[in-house]
Amino acid sequence: MLDAGCGTGENALHIAAQGLSVLGVDVAETALAIARRNADDRGIEVEFAAADAFQLQRLGRRFETVLDCGLFHAFDGDERPGYVASLASVTEHDGTLYVLCFSDDGPDTGPHPISQEELRAAFNPGNGWNVAAIEPDRLQTRYHDDNGAPAWVATIKRI
């Protein structure tokens, strides 16, 4: 499994603790150092590597499952096609991408909220994707109360 934009690695660590093989990638070396230290402290076997989200093919690997928790919404509309193509380059055909991003639905949204239409436009059959589901959720941040910010969880299949 690939955790794209893993930050300090909490999702990758959680998944690896369940016995799954995980590669967490991020551009921030400081965050990766924290992730590696946390893995060592917890005795969890997980791999972390520095990588540019727009050049994931440089990893030289492909994945059945890819997780994007809070990265997609960080990109402007004109950057998204490059990121989506990069994800496609490392996701196996019939593989699954899970995207958790800030939603535009409701008050107190997070920065760069995304509409369902924007998700569907970014991940469409013309560029090798099929959105299987988009469900409302909440994303916990340090800037929101305990209820978090409105979010979408999208399940997207590589075709």
What is the tens place of the pLDDT at every residue in 127-143?
Answer: 999 999 999 999 888 77
Q: Where is average pLDDT lowest: 40-49, 93-102, 138-147?
A: 138-147
Indicate if the pLDDT at residue 117 is higher than 90: yes
Q: Which domains does the chain have, with CATH numbers?
A: 1-51 (no CATH), 54-159 (3.40.50.150)
Of the candidates 113, 98, 105, 110, the one whose C-alpha atom is nearest the C-alpha of residue 141 is 110
How far is residue 91's CA from residue 83's CA, in Å, rounded to a whole number?
12
Position with higher pLDDT, 9 vs 148: 9
What CA dihedral angle connects 4, 155, 79 and 8, to 10 degrees? -20
Phi (first) and psi of residue 49, to 5 degrees: -150, 150
What percentage of the chain carries pLDDT values higher than 90?
89
Indicate if the pLDDT at residue 148 is higher than 80: yes
Q: Which DSSP string do the residues of the chain spell out, in sequence order? A: -EEET-TT-HHHHHHHHTT---EEEES-HHHHHHHHHHHHHHT---EEEE--GGGGGGG---EEEEEEESSGGGS-TTTHHHHHHHHHHHEEEEEEEEEEEEBSSSSS--SS-B-HHHHHHHS-GGGTEEEEEEEEEEE--SSS-TT-EEEEEEEEEE-
How far is residue 29's CA from residue 50's CA, in Å, rounded to a whole number?
7
Position with higher pLDDT, 110 vs 14: 14
